[in-house]
Structure 1
């Protein structure tokens, strides 16, 4: 199938089939895909947490506002986190080629800790796009969500040196989900409003 067709089919799932789980094989494939995600200067300032344990998933669902039901019904929840300690990141990138470290030292580090953390978080969003594309290609439905209580997530997952940014519920849609494009067509701005060719 063409990627354009996949893009037309992909949507934010609102209702999952709780009785259908993603196979271990597909979960392992998704983990490897995330490991291979692109990032600026190969920075990889992230950790991805796959939650299948129902008790932990319920705890996180309770810290997710209106996303609670989706998380409880989904097969898995994937939590995307960014390094939150600049010194940890700097120790990590010293394993990389000299050019990458030089770029960081010359252009990023002088901007200060706050800007470096913002930059690291932006890299995690690159991985999100990669992940959502992989899911649709593997016929897995997904719901990216920023509507969560970040500090609660950090506490439940006992994160150290990392900070929760967002989560993605994954699984298989309930056939009655009213948000799927066959029932509720996608609403997007016209091409000429968002694309400029020079």
Structure 2
């Protein structure tokens, strides 16, 4: 399917079919896709946690505000985390990146405040989100990105060290009567001339 058609058919799923699960092979493919996600200077300041264990998934669902039912019914929950310890990040890039990339970081990012550096790190994780949602759509897997979660509680449940939760994505297969799908509810987007400028 052409990407424009995927864009028209993809939507944020509101109701999942709890009895339909994503295959292990497809989960492995999604993991590899996330591993290949782009980031500035190939910094990769992230961790992706795939949760299928029902007990853990339910614990996370209970600290996810209005997203609880979606998470419980979805096949998997993928938690997107950013590295939260600058020294650990610098150790990682010094060990894995070429001199030019490390030099860019040292010249342009490292002089910033701690808050600005961590903001830059988090921005890289958001790049992977668009990549992931598009990959799911290409595989006919439904998805629900969500920032409506209690990040600190997620960190505790997942026992995160040096990382912090940014957002999560429920993935699975829609209930056929999900009212948010485009064939039932038209997509609502701003007009082209309001958001795109050509010079």
TM category, shorter: over 0.9
CA offsets 1:150-185 (integer angstroms, 9 cap, x no match): 000000000000000000000000000000000000
Residue equivalent to 2:81: 81
Equivalent positions of 1:1-198 (< 5 A) are: 1-94=1-94, 95-198=96-199
SS in 2 for 1:16: coil
In the alignment, the residues of structure 2 paired with residue 113 and residue 105 of structure 1 have an alpha-carbon distance, to the nearest angstrom, of 13
SS in 1 for 2:161: coil
CA offsets 1:52-97 (integer angstroms, 9 cap, x no match): 0000000000000000000000000000000000000000011211
Deviation at 1:19? Answer: 0.2
In the alignment, the residues of structure 2 paired with residue 39 and residue 114 of structure 1 have an alpha-carbon distance, to the nearest angstrom, of 19
In the alignment, the residues of structure 1 paired with residue 127 and residue 10 of structure 2 have an alpha-carbon distance, to the nearest angstrom, of 18
In the alignment, the residues of structure 1 paired with residue 110 and residue 189 of structure 2 have an alpha-carbon distance, to the nearest angstrom, of 38
The list of structure 1 runs, each at least 4 consecutive aligned residues, that deviate by more than 3 angstroms after superposition, is none
User: Structure 1, unaligned stretches of length 5 or more?
Assistant: none
Deviation at 1:113? Answer: 1.3
Deviation at 1:114? Answer: 1.1
Deviation at 1:20? Answer: 0.1
In the alignment, the residues of structure 2 paired with residue 30 and residue 18 of structure 1 have an alpha-carbon distance, to the nearest angstrom, of 20
TM-score w.r.t. length of structure 1: 0.99
User: Structure 2, unaligned stretches of length 5 or more?
Assistant: none
In the alignment, the residues of structure 1 paired with residue 137 and residue 109 of structure 2 have an alpha-carbon distance, to the nearest angstrom, of 34
In the alignment, the residues of structure 1 paired with residue 112 and residue 78 of structure 2 have an alpha-carbon distance, to the nearest angstrom, of 31
